Amino acid sequence: MDSFYALMGGFEIALTFQNLGLAFLGCFLGTIIGALPGLGPSNGVAILIPLAFSLGLDPTSAMILLTSVYYGAMYGGRISSILLNIPGDEPALMTTLDGYPMAKQGRAGEALAISGVASFVGSFFATCGLVFFAPLLVKFALLFQPADYFALYVLAFATLGGVSSTNQAKAAFAAALGLGIAMIGVDGQTGVPRFAFGEVHLYDGIDFLVAIVGLFALSEVFIFLEHRGDGSGEGKEAKMTIGRITPSFEMLKFCTPTMIRSTILGFLAGVLPGAGASLGSFMAYSAEKALVNKNDTFGKGDPRGVAAPEAGNNSAAGGALVPMLALGVPGSGTTAVLLAMLLALNITPGPLLFTKNPDVVWGLTAALFIANFMLLFMNIPLVGLFVRVLLIPPKFLMPIVAMVSFVGIYGISGSTFDLMVMVVFGIMGWGLRKLEIPLVPVIMGILLGNAMEANLRRAMTIDNGDWTQLFHSPLSIGLWTVAVVGFVLPIIFGKAVKMRIQRAKAESDGLSD
Amino acid sequence: MGDRIFGGIGLVVAAFFIWQATQIQLSFISDPFGPKVFPYMIGTVLALASLAIMLRPDAAPKWPEAARLAEIGVAAVVLFAYAYALPIAGFIIATTLAAAYLSWRLGTKPVQALLAGVAISIGIYVVFHLILGLSLARGPLGF
């Protein structure tokens, strides 16, 4: 009940004119960002962070803006999946499987409507889940000792590497690379510079916002430069007839069980540190396909095949906020970016956030409920507006992305050195993506590196450097076990999952071409 | 092949990282753990992962041909130059040129690209500076 009262207080914060305006702006921008191929939730939020920061927004308002963008992008991703057969962002990949066939049958409007409703159901119930589970997790997290926190960080990296990448060695490499970058700068505990090569600019360390914008946003520009002219980057015309855009009652009833099951699955995938929305939509789609695909209609334009991944990825997006707020360990790439935002505002997420800054937590949660209704409205009756945005070709979009990235970073630091570091990260991001090295562990490493080391050293100081203390409490043993299982098990089974995603995609290409 | 070379580079980076970690000066205040051990751990993971990548490489990625690589290289140089020129030439001029270059390389015709550059830089200037009040680089001409 406490959470309920706290949430009511949150509504008081969220219902100010400024915060409502920011939520609306965030939803609008987010839907556009999600719909545009090449801009997804993580790089979209990344290029807007510096903006929120330099506008001098207070932490609650800044989080409301960015989280609305995050939710909005989850809604928007489906638009280009359905109309163009190009996922607007990675989690919307599964939506192409049934969404595009529906559009080809002239039922694009219906697909947009049902996926909009599914998105709403997913994120609405995930936000309820956030209200319910985050405080529980906080109570649990207050028991954590430094050694347990260290194990938790290891767990986050292990599940991230294990579950969401094909090659565990590459994920481990990415994590170590990020952690290594975090080590640059003056050591917080003893005051000695590390890896600074005598360069004064590096004494403060690498600003994670600079790294994030470079890795996520600028690398996209390089990818488009590489693929210019070979067709994959060019905007296809969305000339299909949209048809009716209100879902019929029978259709909703038909899809309801699917949406409920997918919401639950997606939420679980989201809460798991490191798994994220892509896994949520994949699990939801596969489960529904296995469960209700009796007449073999999936992949040929079954509305349930559109509802499942959309409910799943939106629900996972909400679920991913739970560990981010309650433990300070992000559950996905975009929540990692949001964590960076909080850190940049001097707010440390984790159990203490709920007692020290309850306004941030509950104001944000309340704003998410409001944002959801705004998004439902934008994404069903007004969806035509966003369809037009898809016609912006990358040759104009990408220069805008690059320039806005520079403006944002320059607005925060005003330093040319930081801009150059950002370009270096942009090139690095391009190279890593070519080699299929996941970027999210790099970001998580840069973000969490110092906290991870601090907890390890604190644990060692408490126990005078006795290594065995890391595995002393039952809690830490449990966390280590999950970490090892989470990393090793997917090496055996995970390949199959990723291959099935790719095969499913190949099948749909076979159908559409 | 890409992965084998990359694994090799990773090993070199890991070795360099560990070597640099040994060079960290210790200060008179210290904890039982010190500032070196965690970097050693990271370096070890980096080395092991590189080794694993080298021994079990994935299928090689499709690398772009030399001309395209040069394209990306030149774009990077242009962006470096942009970062450098920003406080000297001012936001509008520098951004117009950089945005026009990118737009041109992404397939716009030269004149159109220049127009796009002007539109993008003035658009960003209006939205971010005049409306939102963000401080942008100010050149000798005042914008």
Q: What is the pLDDT of residues B63-109, one digit of tens each?
A: 777 888 888 999 999 999 999 988 888 889 999 999 999 999 988 88
* Calpha distance A216→A41 (Å, rounded): 10
* B38 Cα to chain A: minimum distance (Å): 7
Which DSSP state fits A218? I
Out of A319-328, A375-384, A428-437, pick the least confident: A375-384
Of A139-148, A188-197, A359-368, give the range with the top mean pLDDT: A359-368
d(CA A67, CA A55): 16
CB neighbours of residue A381 within 10 Å = 13
Which residues in B lie closer than 8 A to residue A398 (C-beta atoms)?
102, 106
Q: How far apart are CA A452 and CA A329, in angstroms?
A: 11
Query: Token pair of A421, please?
Result: 């570091």
> Among the listed ranges A301-310, A489-498, B49-58, B96-105, which one has the minimum average pLDDT value?
A489-498
Is residue B19 within 8 Å of A194, Cβ to Cβ?
Answer: no
Do B52 and A190 count as a contact with CB atoms less than 8 A apart? no
The tokens for A396 are: 């104009």
Instruction: Give the model's pLDDT for residue A510.
Output: 34
How many angstroms separate the Cα of A306 from the Cα of each of A30, A187, A281, A286? 20, 50, 10, 12
Is the pLDDT at A156 greater than 90? The verdict is no
Q: What are phi and psi of A235, to 5 degrees?
A: -75, 125
Q: What is the pTM of this model?
A: 0.84
Contact A399 B116 (CB under 8 A): yes
Describe the crossing of helices A17-35 and A41-54 by its angle, rounded to 10 degrees.
Answer: 150
pLDDT for residue B6 is more than 60: yes
Q: How far apart are CA A30 and CA A344, in angstroms?
A: 21
End-to-end CA distance of chain A: 54
**Sign of CA pseudo-dihedral A145, A146, A150, A153:** positive
What's chain B's average pLDDT?
86
Q: Is the pLDDT of residue A390 over 80?
A: no
What is the Cα–Cα distance from A7 to A132, expressed in whole angstroms?
11
Q: What does the pLDDT read at residue B118?
A: 93
Confidence of residue A263 (pLDDT cuts 50, 70, 90): very high
Residue B40, both tokens: 């050693």
Q: What is the 3-state secondary structure (H, E, C) of chain B?
A: CHHHHHHHHHHHHHHHHHHHHHCCCCCCCCCCCCCCHHHHHHHHHHHHHHHHHHHCCCCCCCCCCHHHHHHHHHHHHHHHHHHHHHHHHCHHHHHHHHHHHHHHHCCCCHHHHHHHHHHHHHHHHHHHHHHCCCCCCCCCCCC
Weakest mean pLDDT among A98-102, A203-207, A426-430: A203-207
Residue A237 has pLDDT above 70, yes or no: no
Flag whether pLDDT at A387 surpasses 50: yes
Give the CA-trace dihedral at B36, B42, B45, B48, to 10 degrees: -60
d(CA A78, CA A115): 7
- Integer CA distances (angstroms), A371 to A311, A356, A378, in order: 16, 25, 10
Could B76 and A465 be called an inter-chain contact, meaning their C-beta atoms sit closer than 8 Å?
no
Distance CA A374, CA A368 (A): 10
pLDDT, mean over chain A: 83
* DSSP 3-state of A15: coil
State the pLDDT at residue B143: 67
Search chain B and give the residue with CA nearest A178. Answer: B42
Counted residue by residue, chain A has a size of 513
| Percent of chain B whose pLDDT exceeds 70 | 96
Nearest 5°: the CA angle A61, A67, A73 is: 140
- Tally of CB atoms within 10 A around A480: 19
The C-alpha angle with vertex A350 and arms to A346 and A355, in degrees rounded to 5, equals 85
Q: What sections of A57-187 are H helices per DSSP?
A: 59-84, 95-104, 108-141, 146-164, 168-183
What confidence tier does A174 reach under pLDDT thresholds 50, 70, 90?
A: very high
pLDDT value, residue A493: 66
For A328-382, write each residue's pLDDT tens digit: 888 778 888 888 888 888 888 888 888 888 888 898 899 899 999 999 988 888 8
Proportion of chain A in helix, strand, coil states, percent, rounded to 5: 75, 0, 20
Interface test with A, best of B79, B84, B130 (most A CBs within 10 A): B79
* Length of chain B counted residue by residue: 143
Which phi-psi region, left, alpha or beta, contains residue A198 (left: φ > 0; alpha: ψ -120 to 50)?
A: left
Determine contact, residues A339/A282, Cβ cutoff 8 Å. Answer: no
Closest CA to A137 of A324, A370, A283, A296: A324
Neighbouring residues of A359: CB distance < 8 A, sequence distance ≥ 6 = A9, A10, A13, A60
Q: Hey, is the C-beta of A18 within 8 angstroms of any chain B C-beta?
A: no
Longest dimension (CA), chain A: 70
Residue B140 to chain A, least CA–CA distance (Å): 17
Q: Is the pLDDT of residue A505 over 60?
A: no
Lowest-confidence segment of A5-14, A80-89, A257-266, B93-102 by average pLDDT: A80-89
- pLDDT at residue number A51: 75
Residue pairs between chains A and B whose CB atoms are closer than 8 Å: 190
Residue B32 CA, distance from chain mean position? 37
Name the token pair of A479.
Answer: 């966390």
Closest residue on chain B to A161 (Cα): B49
Tokens representing A330?
A: 């992000």
> Which residues partner with A186 through β-bridges?
A193
Inter-chain CB proximity B120 and A399 less than 8 Å: yes
**In chain A, positions 154-183, which contact chain B (CB-CB < 8 Å)?**
166-167, 169-170, 172-173, 175-177, 179-180, 183
Nearest chain A Cα distance for residue B7, angstroms: 10
Residue A240: its pLDDT value, please?
A: 55
Backbone angles phi, psi at A296, to 5 degrees: 55, 45
Residues from chain A contacting residue B121 (CB–CB below 8 Å)? 403
Assigned token pair, A43? 């790089």
* CA pair distance A46, A344, nearest whole angstrom: 13
> A63 and A475 in contact (C-beta within 8 Å)?
no
From the list B100, B99, B97, B93, the residue with the least C-alpha distance to B142 is B93
Nearest CA in chain B to A396: B103
pLDDT above 70 for A239:
no
b/e burial code for range A220-235 (CB count within 10 A of at least 16 → b):
bbbbbbbbbeeeebeb
Yes or no: say if A441 and A447 are a contact pair by the CB < 8 Å rule: no
